[in-house]
Structure 1
Amino acid sequence: MLRKNFALLLLMLTAGGYCAAAPARDLSAIASLPSDSFVHKSMEARKKLIHKHLPLNSREAHDFWPIYDEYQQELMLVYIQRKATITKLGRHFDAMTDDFAKQFVMESIALQEERLHVLHNYFKKFEIVLPGKQLLRFYQIENRFRSAVDAELAERIPLLK
């Protein structure tokens, strides 16, 4: 069941030509996408997954979901940039140069750092509205989602020869 939801985000990350790279923190990049885009669909699927597996009382839900929506938008910007980086890798894969390979690694590391920055910043906000166990459960669900996407990407992107 969870794997089907992860597949939707994977499609968003690997499908070509559906969204352009966006600078970090420019939330207008998401707002300007069509409502039927892979980004919007994956955001909704992820939100449904969190809703299903993170039981919240009415007060927690009232406080949590607005923060989550903001958090999700910032994470999606990182995923949009990641998709653009992976697409660029695909275009250069057969004629890879050492310089491009180094650039790809540095961009990948920078995106991981940006994702961790978002996680850290929103942890501070989530810990105000969620008790510790709920906070841990939320981050466990998020980690499973991300791990599944990363595993799928690792299987689909061949090792460089």
Structure 2
Amino acid sequence: MKKSLPVLLVALAISSNALASPAAQPSPDVEPLYAGMRLLQAQTAEDKRAFVDAQLQLDEGQAERFWPVFEEHQQALAALNKRRLDNVLAYAKAWNEDALDDARAAQLAEQALAIEKDETDLLGHTYRKLKRAVPASKAVAYLQLESKIRAIVRYEQALNVPLLP
């Protein structure tokens, strides 16, 4: 019996403007997923920026120093999101082909853990840059916002990935 694994585009899309220019061309069977994700991300990137702006209430000088770091963070998130989508698609392919043996499952898990570690490292890097650019309270508030947004994304993604039997 064939199993299906839906990929939730909206959840990844709200997290950043990822996949605006993927390094490698996806295969024709998954290109619609990447294209849909890029479109949704382009539509939501401005909303995310406006949301962060409204929450942080930066003065002019703070904003001038904050937004370049924010944009750098979003670009780095884009690369992580592409890696995450590639990992989910590899999982879906193996799942749908009933080819998710222990070795493949372990490999995909290691990749997923590496992505999580890299995202944590990125958040630390961004925080260190931000606390030199804006008051620490604003840098922490941004980390909280980004963490909450990412938690929502993770929750939405988790709903759509079946557990191994």
Q: TM-score, normalised by structure 2?
A: 0.75
Assess, with a 3 A threshold, how the Cα gap between structure 1 residues 69 and 111 changes in structure 2: closer, same or farther. same
RMSD: 2.7
- Could you give the per-residue CA deviations for residues 77-110 of structure 1, whole angstroms, max 9, x where no partner exists? 1011101111111111141111110001100011
Which secondary structure state, in structure 2, belongs to the residue aligned with residue 37 of structure 1?
helix
Distance 2:22 2:138 in 1: 33
Gaps of 5+ in 2: 1-7, 25-34
Ranked by relative contact order (alpha carbons within 8 Å, sequence separation 6 or more), the top structure is 2
For the pair 1:122 / 2:123, whether they are aligned, the reply is no
Specify whether residues 69 and 37 from structure 1 end up closer, same or farther in structure 2 by C-alpha distance, changes over 3 A only. same
Structure 1 or 2, whichever has the larger Rg, is: 2
How far apart in 2 are the matches of 1:98 and 1:21? 30
Q: Secondary structure at the match of 2:117?
A: helix
Partner of 2:91: 89
Alignment correspondent of 2:28: none
Aligned-pair distance for 1:76? 1.3
Structure 1: 5+ residue stretches without partners: 1-6, 24-32
Q: Report the identity percentage.
A: 22
Aligned to 1:27: none
How does the TM-score come out when normalised to structure 1?
0.76
Verify the 8 A CA contact 2:87 2:112 in the aligned structure 1: yes
CA distances 1:51-82 after superposition (whole Å, capped 9, x unpaired) = 12111000000110011111110111101110
| CA distance in structure 2 between the aligned counterparts of 1:21 and 1:38, rounded to whole angstroms | 15
Are residues 90 and 99 of structure 1, via their aligned partners in 2, closer, same or farther at CA, if it must alter by over 3 Å?
same
Corresponding position: 1:112 with 2:144: no
Deviation readout 1:16-62 (Å, 9 max, x if unpaired): xx888659xxxxxxxxx9xx633433433322221121110000001
What secondary structure is seen at the aligned counterpart in 1 of 2:90? helix
What pairs with 1:1-161 in structure 2 (closer than 5 Å)? 9-10=10-11, 12=13, 22=23, 37-94=39-96, 95=98, 96-161=100-165
SS in 2 for 1:151: helix
Hey, what's the Cα distance between the residues in 2 that align with 1:116 and 1:143?
Answer: 10
Equivalent residue pairs, number: 141
- CA contact 1:126–1:135 (8 Å) conserved in 2: yes
Question: Which residue identity does 2:110 align to in structure 1?
Answer: M
Confirm or deny: 8 A CA contact 2:12 2:153 kept in the other structure.
Answer: no
